[in-house]
Chain A
């Protein structure tokens, strides 16, 4: 492995939604240019965890946190940090494809730049093509950039959303169950894409699908009831887990 630098370091992270504690003192690190998978049953806090990595948890009313999330050594949960700036560095793709319905394919990919005031058409054209190529979608849509983004198939829409996230040049890409609404062929395409992407950025993927974690991730964290039970190199998690609960989960003995 070429680089083993920690891109994100999480220490003692607690999250509450009103009275209910969703995450309990999570300690974890996410390595640069690697793929980290977060697995666990529904409601275990894995989505909450990744949403803390770009402060999306704040969009839910009543969310409070303690602890720290360091991105390149800077605590992004600090009150003096602008969440908007964090999100430009840490992009996110959601479970259901969410192309902006009023925009064309081109406008969708350009949205992050355009809505932030970048109107230079030439630059946008270059960025859109580069992002669509990165998301392995260019060949399929290059002749229909003026069509609405919602005219694409589900798998294409999800890659469009990845392209849209890539267009703002994030350093980290968070994917919250990006394939759970897709068929196996589209899923395969996205997994292949993630392998390409990790050359340039750091990827964190939440998944329900353990085979997916085993296929794509370098590191895997197993969450249960708001706690990080085990975090290790993916092969260890799936072949020789240290914790009994991890073993039960990855062998399908519960859930």
Chain B
């Protein structure tokens, strides 16, 4: 009798294990399929011209997304300029002095903000910048993406700073180091590798946004280096190309998608490597 109970249990275990395995496979299947398909469709359209040339009018072959690549960097750069100081300082404040009522309020707002549909930030930037400046601009786009990045950076900073043992700060204070220096040069520096990971993930997230850019940065078929002008971004360019009826443009959309996915993948890999080095270092 014991023997049968044992074999039943073994069968149960096998069934359960294979179910877990299959579910794990199903979870990564869409990702792999998507990556594979983007790679297959996009790779054939990638060329050197794609990275160096402007888009061409319909009917002409060739052309690239060089201006959109630069535009994405410009918009995300502006977004980082807005979100980094606010996010980092807000996170430090929450971790160190945010235990009271005010801290609760800020933390709650940040949580709500991270759950907002991103298009809402786009509308906000549209009203604030596009309507008042009477034109689409990289500033408006950067502002919208910056708002999206703030909660991510704030939360990571808070968590990473909280993870630094209190005794480390106390040790610094006990050396006769003023509190702000102890915070910045010891606590923040110790938390930095984790915070950096969070920043890069926020950047990757912002770079992949389309909706809030549609009516803030808009698009541009030409080079633009002025932040107060309509600016191309990879995501919006991909969107325009993908919904167009022209086969040539559809191909470019795939190439753009591949480039964007590749860039974000690269960021993630670099971040992982970097954070691992610090943890074991």
Q: Are B174 and A116 in contact (CB under 8 A)?
A: no
Instruction: State which of A56, A98, A165 has its C-beta within 8 Å of the C-beta of B168.
Output: A98
Q: Are A102 and B190 in contact (CB under 8 A)?
A: yes
Q: Are A85 and B176 in contact (CB under 8 A)?
A: yes
Instruction: State which of B177, B192, B281 has its C-beta within 8 Å of the C-beta of A116.
Output: B177
Task: Given A98-B167, A98-B171, A115-B185, check contact A148 B281 (CB 8 Å).
Answer: yes
Of A38-46, A87-95, A246-254, the stretch lying at the interface with chain B is A87-95
A113 to chain B, nearest CB (A): 9
Task: Given A98-B165, A100-B186, A102-B190, check contact A115 B175 (CB 8 Å).
Answer: yes
Q: Are B171 and A94 in contact (CB under 8 A)?
A: yes
- Residues in B neighbouring A54, C-beta threshold 8 A: 174
Q: Are B175 and A87 in contact (CB under 8 A)?
A: yes
Q: Is B173 on the interface with A (CB-CB < 8 A)?
A: yes
Q: Is B189 on the interface with A (CB-CB < 8 A)?
A: yes
Q: Mark A86-111, 1 if CB is under 8 A from B, else 0.
A: 01100110111010111000000001
Q: Are A115 and B181 in contact (CB under 8 A)?
A: yes
- Residues in A neighbouring B168, C-beta threshold 8 A: 98, 100-101
A82 to chain B, nearest CB (A): 9
Q: Is B59 on the interface with A (CB-CB < 8 A)?
A: no
Instruction: State which of B169, B176, B185, B189 has its C-beta within 8 Å of the C-beta of A84.
Output: B176
7 A–B pairs (Cβ distance < 8 Å), ordered by A = A56-B174, A88-B176, A92-B174, A102-B190, A111-B175, A112-B176, A161-B171
The answer for the CA separation of A165 and B172 in the assembled complex, in Å, is 10
Closest 8 CB pairs of A and B: A88-B176, A112-B175, A92-B174, A87-B176, A98-B171, A98-B167, A115-B177, A102-B189
- Residues in A neighbouring B182, C-beta threshold 8 A: 115
Q: Using a CB-CB cutoff of 8 Å, which residues 88-120 of chain B contact chain A? A: 99
Q: Mark A57-95, 1 if CB is under 8 A from B, else 0.
A: 001010000000000000000000000110110011011
Task: Given A84-B178, A102-B189, check contact A115 B172 (CB 8 Å).
Answer: yes
- Residues in A neighbouring B176, C-beta threshold 8 A: 84-85, 87-88, 112, 116, 168
Q: Is B247 on the interface with A (CB-CB < 8 A)?
A: no
B156 to chain A, nearest CB (A): 18
Q: Is A34 on the interface with B (CB-CB < 8 A)?
A: no
- Residues in B neighbouring A61, C-beta threshold 8 A: 99
The answer for the CA separation of A111 and B172 in the assembled complex, in Å, is 8
Q: Number of contacts between A and B (CB, 8 Å)?
A: 70
- Identity of the chain A residue whose Cβ is nearest the Cβ of B185 in the assembled complex: A115
- Residues in A neighbouring B172, C-beta threshold 8 A: 100, 111, 115
- Residues in B neighbouring A95, C-beta threshold 8 A: 167
B42 to chain A, nearest CB (A): 41
Q: Is B170 on the interface with A (CB-CB < 8 A)?
A: yes
- Identity of the chain A residue whose Cβ is nearest the Cβ of B174 in the assembled complex: A92
Instruction: State which of B165, B170, B185, B281 has its C-beta within 8 Å of the C-beta of A59.
Output: B170
Instruction: State which of A59, A96, A101, A161 has its C-beta within 8 Å of the C-beta of B173.
Output: A59
Q: Using a CB-CB cutoff of 8 Å, which residues 147-194 of chain B contact chain A? A: 165, 167-178, 181-182, 185-186, 189-190, 192
The answer for the CA separation of A96 and B168 in the assembled complex, in Å, is 10
Task: Given A100-B186, A102-B190, A148-B281, check contact A94 B177 (CB 8 Å).
Answer: no
Q: Are B167 and A96 in contact (CB under 8 A)?
A: yes
The answer for the CA separation of A85 and B177 in the assembled complex, in Å, is 9
Q: Are A165 and B186 in contact (CB under 8 A)?
A: no
A154 to chain B, nearest CB (A): 14
Q: Are A112 and B173 in contact (CB under 8 A)?
A: no
The answer for the CA separation of A148 and B278 in the assembled complex, in Å, is 11
Q: Is A159 on the interface with B (CB-CB < 8 A)?
A: no
Q: Mark A10-28, 1 if CB is under 8 A from B, else 0.
A: 0000000000000000000
- Identity of the chain B residue whose Cβ is nearest the Cβ of A95 in the assembled complex: B167
- Identity of the chain A residue whose Cβ is nearest the Cβ of B181 in the assembled complex: A115
Q: Are A165 and B170 in contact (CB under 8 A)?
A: no
- Identity of the chain B residue whose Cβ is nearest the Cβ of A54 in the assembled complex: B174
B94 to chain A, nearest CB (A): 15
- Residues in A neighbouring B174, C-beta threshold 8 A: 54, 56, 87, 91-92, 94, 165
A128 to chain B, nearest CB (A): 14
- Residues in A neighbouring B185, C-beta threshold 8 A: 115
- Residues in A neighbouring B171, C-beta threshold 8 A: 92, 94, 98, 100, 161, 164
